[in-house]
Structure 1
Amino acid sequence: MAKGTMRYWAAAKAAAGTHEEPYDAGTLAEAVAAALAKEGRGGEFQRVVQRSSFLVDGEPVGTRAHDSVVLPDGAVVEVLPPFAGG
């Protein structure tokens, strides 16, 4: 298991109730599942996360399956919800 930081932006930050938090997970899927399971997080957080894009140490995850994205120790996962505008 790797330890790192998960950072939330915009609507993800509002729905999570925090800007960042630590994670302890081996893959992106495990880190996201743990974040979704935190007490007090409702359906809005789940809806935002399901629509979000992710970066791991600044690199886009893209369409890769989250369970195939291995998190190195100390990695920063950015949760980026869709942004309005153009």
Structure 2
Amino acid sequence: MKMLSQLSDAPDMESSALIERISDGNDCVVISYWAAAKSAAGVAGERVLADQPITLAALTSLLWRDRADLAQILPICSVIIDGLPVASSDPATVLVASGAHVEFLPPFAGG
């Protein structure tokens, strides 16, 4: 899996072998970050190349690679995939297909 593009004008982050910035592409998962997750990521969202289904656990591991702030917040986030909450499902058993939209929502104060 590869990171494709960040969906903001934030400064580029250091690349690794898994990260490739391109302007557009097929076979990707669109990631959206909200509130503290957005702040930790430094971007509102990004695209991850996924030419085959990937588990939510593998996807989140890829997202927080070399990003300590994101590694702290993603495990406590609620996750929505294509408008449906993942709830208490084990991330290792949740498959994310190409073309999916995955949203990470951290806990909000006040309920």
For the aligned pair, the TM-score class normalised by the smaller chain equals 0.7 to 0.9
Which of residues 85, 92, 99 in structure 2 aligns to 1:74? 99
- Structure with bigger helix share is 1
Cα-Cα RMSD: 1.5
SS of the residue 2:32 aligns to:
strand
Equivalence for 1:51: 76
Larger Rg: 2
1:19-78, Cα deviation, whole Å (9 max, x unpaired): 0011234111111010011x4x22x32221111110000100011111111112200000
Write the distance in 2 (CA, Å) between the matches of 1:11 and 1:18. 11
Greater relative contact order (Cα < 8 A, sep 6+): 1
Q: Which runs of 5+ in 2 are unaligned?
A: 2-26
TM-score by length of 2: 0.68
Identity of aligned residues (%): 40
Q: Which residue of 2 aligns with 1:35?
A: 63
Counterpart code for 1:78: E
TM-score, with length taken from structure 1: 0.86
Name the counterpart of 1:3.
Answer: 28
